[in-house]
A and B are shown apart, each in its own frame.
Chain A
Amino acid sequence: MAVAAVDMSFMEDPSIFSKSRYHQDDEDNFNLADLRACEPQAFAMAPVANPKSFCLDIKKSGEAPKLMDFMKGTTTLGFVFQGGIIIAVDSRASMGSYIGSQTVKKVIEINDFLLGTIAGGAADGSFWERHLNRLCRMHELREKERISVAAASKLLANIFWQYRGQGLSCGTMVAGWDKKGPSLYMVDDQGDRHKGNVFSVGSGSTFAYGVLDTGYRFDLTVDEAVELGRRSIYHATHRDGASGGVARVYHVHEKGWTKVIAGEDVNKLHYMYAAEKNLKGDE
């Protein structure tokens, strides 16, 4: 059959790639107003001349120094091992040097088999991850099978890409166990998305990486892995002022996820680890 030249007009507006897969083309006018109320396209943009470069413009104009410098004051980490995935987070919310809360939940239970972590703006992270839950559920209903972790993280990354430069601040990890086994993806507010085995996100990540990289082996047992996660969080909270509170550890396995450590005060952990070394902990 004679094929006409391929219609490449879809390349002209890159933002359509980030539209939800379940977005129906506008031309058909089938969209129900309430269904679309929460769709990204219906969001109000910043009331400035050029919303897409809002953040850059503010920085350049120098009008509000540091206003748009989002610091991700937190420590979250995740790693893949033979028994699945361990996700460990701290629970401190800080606004500069003011500690807002010591009991924040930085792991979002997207659904029974997907976990997401938030570093950065809590509102951005938790809203979009709950939105992701809705998209995952729609996928399940339509396709009659669970969404893969690759697709779920891609949906999230596309959303962040669409809002790139407009002030979202979020570094997240999406972890789950699907047909291809356990997968861990790091997605950030620039639309960056990477698959990997070991990730740590947040201001305390450098400290966590030190301990994590030292102790990481693929063939850790579940208990060893949980301990590694907890210890890495503790060390990060000890040295990073913006991390603290309690350590939470989740384990993602074939049947879903389990909250292994609901919250252990890192202060107590400090003295516990010190005692293991026969120290008092006041050094």
Chain B
Amino acid sequence: MEAVRKGASVVGVLGKSCVVLGVEKWAAAKLQDTRTVRKIAKLDSQIMVAFAGLTADARVLVNRARVECQSYRLTVEDAPTVEYISRWIAGTQQRYTQRGGVRPFGVSSLIAGFDPDKKPQLFKTEPSGAYSSWKAATTGKGDKSIREYLESAFEPDLDDGAAVKLAVRSLLDVVDGGAKNIEIVVLTADAPAETLSEDRLEQLAEEIEREKEEEAKRKKDEDN
């Protein structure tokens, strides 16, 4: 949908034992308090969602998904799997495409987290209500270019550091302004989600710059 294509870029990466979600932060107006604009939300203790598209639609969807997670816990006495809640969100989005008098949710979301058996999962849902599982996914403005980069650079079973770097690097390609316009959240099976600090992001950005230069130099040497 158009709204999604114009939305801020979002990327998700599956590591061996972690999942990483990264979003592009809109450059805030000077008077705006950036802390109130959170694009990565927690659905359940080990499930996070990041979305691209209409923020208001996403907010409603996230609220309902949170209630659904708790309802599932109440009835089944176990945490919901990422697949279950993705299916539920996708089903909700689909219902709004097939009814009179309502419009579809203009939101595409990346749902990342751990199943009760500690397996990391990443799912992507679209306004049409389709959902699928991904090893690394992206949506939003930079969808095409980030996906091309991920397809070339992704490897299975990345360790935590490598997964984070992959996410940061793919976002840096499309985001103007560098590390301060990126937000990264890392989730592991047993610990609460960790939002990387600005300093850490600056550090990573510098490392990535250096790696890029080294790669460029190596390529030039090979060509010669």
Docked-complex contact B76 and A154, CB < 8 angstroms:
yes
Question: CA separation between A155 and B77, bound complex, in Å?
Answer: 11
Tell me the B4-48 residues at the A interface (CB within 8 Å): 36-39, 41
Question: Please, what's the 1-or-0 string for A1-30, where 1 marks a CB less than 8 Å from any CB in chain B?
Answer: 111101100100000010001000000101
Contacts known (A1-B38, A1-B41, A28-B99); A148 close to B76, Cβ less than 8 A = yes
Q: How many A-B residue pairs have CB under 8 A?
A: 51
Q: Does A74 contact B (CB under 8 A)?
A: no
Q: Which residues of B contact A158 (CB under 8 A)?
A: 75
Question: CA separation between A30 and B58, bound complex, in Å?
Answer: 24
Docked-complex contact A1 and B55, CB < 8 angstroms:
yes
Q: Does A143 contact B (CB under 8 A)?
A: yes
Tell me the B72-122 residues at the A interface (CB within 8 Å): 72, 74-78, 81, 84, 95, 99
Interface size on B, residues (CB 8 A): 23
Which chain B residue lies CB-closest to A29? B99
Q: Which residues of A contact B72 (CB under 8 A)?
A: 21
Docked-complex contact B76 and A4, CB < 8 angstroms:
no
Nearest CB of chain B from residue A27's CB, rounded to whole Å: 9
Which chain B residue lies CB-closest to A1? B38
Docked-complex contact A1 and B77, CB < 8 angstroms:
no
Q: Does B1 contact A (CB under 8 A)?
A: no
Contacts known (A1-B58, A4-B63, A28-B95); A154 close to B36, Cβ less than 8 A = no
Which chain A residue lies CB-closest to B59? A1
Which chain B residue lies CB-closest to A10? B67
Which chain B residue lies CB-closest to A5? B63
Docked-complex contact B78 and A151, CB < 8 angstroms:
yes
Q: Which residues of A contact B62 (CB under 8 A)?
A: 1, 3
Docked-complex contact B76 and A150, CB < 8 angstroms:
yes
Nearest CB of chain A from residue B51's CB, rounded to whole Å: 9
Nearest CB of chain B from residue A254's CB, rounded to whole Å: 18
Contacts known (A10-B67, A28-B99); A2 close to B76, Cβ less than 8 A = no
Most chain B beta-carbon neighbours within 10 Å: one of A2, A148, A154 = A2
Contacts known (A28-B99, A143-B84); A3 close to B63, Cβ less than 8 A = yes
Question: CA separation between A30 and B72, bound complex, in Å?
Answer: 22
Docked-complex contact B76 and A3, CB < 8 angstroms:
no
Which chain B residue lies CB-closest to A151? B76
Nearest CB of chain B from residue A129's CB, rounded to whole Å: 18
Q: Which residues of B contact A155 (CB under 8 A)?
A: 75
Which chain A residue lies CB-closest to B117? A179
Q: Which residues of A contact B78 (CB under 8 A)?
A: 148, 150-151
Docked-complex contact A4 and B59, CB < 8 angstroms:
yes
Which chain B residue lies CB-closest to A179? B117
Q: Which residues of B contact A1 (CB under 8 A)?
A: 36-39, 41, 55, 58-59, 62
Q: Which residues of B contact A2 (CB under 8 A)?
A: 36-38, 59
- What is B's interface to A at a CB cutoff of 8 Å? 36-39, 41, 55, 58-59, 62-63, 66-67, 71-72, 74-78, 81, 84, 95, 99
- Name 7 interchain pairs, CB-CB below 8 A, sorted by A: A1-B59, A2-B38, A2-B59, A6-B63, A143-B81, A154-B77, A155-B75
Top-4 shortest CB links A-B: A1-B38, A151-B76, A150-B77, A2-B36
7 more CB-based (< 8 A) A-B contacts, given A17-B71, A151-B75: A1-B38, A1-B55, A6-B63, A21-B75, A150-B76, A150-B77, A151-B78
